[in-house]
Amino acid sequence: MKKKSLMVLEDFHQKDIKVGDRVPRFEGSYEILDMNYSNEHGEFILCEYIPGDDFGDVDVTPDFEAYGMPAKPLNPYEILGTISVPGYRNLMAGIGFFIKNTQTGVTEGVSFQEAFDRIFNEGAINATASKSRTGVFHSKLIDSTDELPSFDSHFWKIPAYFPTGELFAPLTKRAEYELKKGLKIAVRSLSQDVGSQFRYKKEISSESIRELKRLIQKSEKITVLTGAGISTLSGVPDYRSSVMGMWEKNPAILEQLNERTFQDSPEKFWSAVYKLLETTLTGVMPFQNHESLLAALDGIPTNSAHRFLKKLEKEFGKDVTVITQNVDGLHQSTGNERVIEFHGNIRQCICPRCDTIFNLTDVLKKVENKVSAPTCRCGTVLRPNVVFFEDAVKDLNSSRKAVEGSDLLLVVGTSLQVYPFNQLPYFKKKEAKVVYLNGEVEGNREEQFDLTIEGDILNAFWQLEKSLESQKGTH
């Protein structure tokens, strides 16, 4: 069934549309009827939705329908907009609505179900609610009035937070829960966007993959040294680049990230930690505020490179040790049994007195402001479980033993410029092979390693995984 609807330009992926165009959308298309349609609510694009051929003869008559209060000017509620989070497509108001009580003038953020109940039972000025059942499927809809776009339009999007970080309006408990979920979903989406910028298009030869496969099959004990080139594919910026950028903008902050400042002025130390986290994670934070920082710390996903290293151990039966420079904890969360975090784990805090380890997100949830120094139950100021300036690296002896005992050393996503991590390959036994895989290969790396592969890490591991799986299937 054809149906006219109002939209705004932001609703279209293709912006250079004109009257007469048909724009594919869902299972049909929109025909543009008027680019400058206006009414009392604003200026819109008037369209007509035309279902696809496959749906032309489908009977979608519900078995049951019920309609709530009709839209009337004296109804007690008005929908101001949908709760919007950058990176999260709020299709059909998945998080909820900002809704105004026209009698009290109070605006609050509510979940979809809460908005539905209010509009269905009490009524709204600019919306109606209905529910239906078709077979075993139940649905609830909130529709705008005819002279307004539908609620999945950008016209309705209101950012959950102001640029200053404060909420647009108070939230109900249910809406607060939905917003936290939405922030984490947005972090995953933004992480993919940021991570895609670090993909390399250089083609990797099938000969290189075959040789890497041969080396893996011959080996029992494999040690993997990983660096920022794996984390950036999950949207985590290169730590060194973030630090250098901060050094140029505000070197005083970095000068506070050391044991001396931690002991003498823990508040300054923790303020610097907070600013470093904000700087490092800004690209995957939906908003520049505390809640988005917590969502980013919890929500950054692993990628297929992390998961391949787990499969190398769990499915292909190799004895794998991962030694990583990265502090994001993604190797640990992926599930490899032996992960040595050479520079620590930023998702953790540790008590210097009793060695109790806390989740950083849980700690920061209790921090009242950006300069508070969190404390352990024993009263001692907590410290992020990472290596800062002048700190000793973690588990150097364990790392050395892992390299010494391995048949194969994989060096992945690191330029090997940071001491002492760059010394680890020299501890391998004479007969062990070393493979270097990175997006870009600088200098004379070919002379230093038995096999050098330059190109996209995800693509290389994808090809390798397919090849190993096909071989496994023949045995």
Binding residues for Zn(2+) are 351, 354, 376, 378
**What strands, in cross-sheet order, belong to the sheet with 137-144?**
64-67, 127-134, 137-144
Beta strands across the sheet bearing 383-386: 357-359, 344-350, 383-386
What's the half-sphere exposure (Cβ side, CA atoms, 13 Å) at 380?
A: 15
The end-to-end CA distance of the chain, in Å, is 56
* Helices assigned H by DSSP within 315-427: 330-334, 360-365, 396-404
Q: Which helix (H) or strand (E) holds 25?
A: strand 22-25
Beta strand residue intervals within 286-376, DSSP E: 319-324, 338-341, 344-350, 357-359
Longest CA span, the chain? 85
Residues marked as catalytic: 343
Tokens standing for residue 171: 């939230």
* Residues 102 and 122 sit within 8 Å (Cβ to Cβ): no
Three-class SS of 122-186 = CCECCEEEEEEEECCEEEEEEEECCCCCCCCCHHHEEECECCCCCECCCECHHHHHHHHHHHHHH
Residues at the binding site are 351, 354, 376, 378
- CA-based nearest residue to 183, from 68, 294, 44: 294
What does DSSP assign to residue 429?
A: -
Q: Of all helices (H) and strands (E), which one includes residue 395?
A: none
Question: Of 114, 131, 130, 115, which Cα lies nearest the Cα of 70?
Answer: 130
What SS3 string covers 246-261? Answer: HHHHCHHHHCCCEHHH
Q: Take residue 361 and report the two structure tokens written for it.
A: 């997100």
